[in-house]
Amino acid sequence: MTASSDARIHVAKAGEFLEAAQANLGLKLYNAATSDAIISGINSKDVICLVLTGRTTKSDNHAGAVAELRGAGRAGATLAPTLNRLLRLKTKSQYTPTSVGPSDAARAVEWAHRMLSGATDTLAGG
């Protein structure tokens, strides 16, 4: 597989998880919506990095993912703060006994949409 074909696979996954996030938000499943939004955002990060640098890393290191995106060029640097905001909700949505509320879940879906839009634009221009 090439970086370009991998990027197309990741953009499709980002879209699928964003759709799931939107559906879960509508069902008031806020932790699931947030978690799906985060996965969408990570896949969007992968698209941008693959298109702009030809590679992406897979790691549970959230700071590393944000740094990787920031280093991928202007498009990545612009979206790095958005990915950072998404990733800060990961622990709360997936691991802790506290839950994500409706406003944080809605913001997470919005941020994932912003990430996917940037990934789609990058893929179209790359």
- pLDDT of the residue at 98: 93
- Say what the pTM is: 0.95
Structure tokens at 88: 């800060």
Q: Please check whether residue 25 is in contact with residue 105, taking contact to mean a CB–CB distance below 8 angstroms.
A: yes
- pLDDT of the residue at 39: 96
- pLDDT of the residue at 126: 55
pLDDT in tens, 10-63: 999 999 999 999 999 999 999 999 999 999 999 999 999 999 999 998 877 777
Q: What CATH fold (topology level) applies to the domain 3-125?
A: Four Helix Bundle (Hemerythrin (Met), subunit A) (1.20.120)
Mean pLDDT for the chain?
A: 95
pLDDT in tens, 54-95: 999 887 777 799 999 999 999 999 999 999 999 999 999 999
CB count in 10 Å sphere of residue 28 = 10
Sign of the four-CA dihedral 30, 31, 32, 34: positive
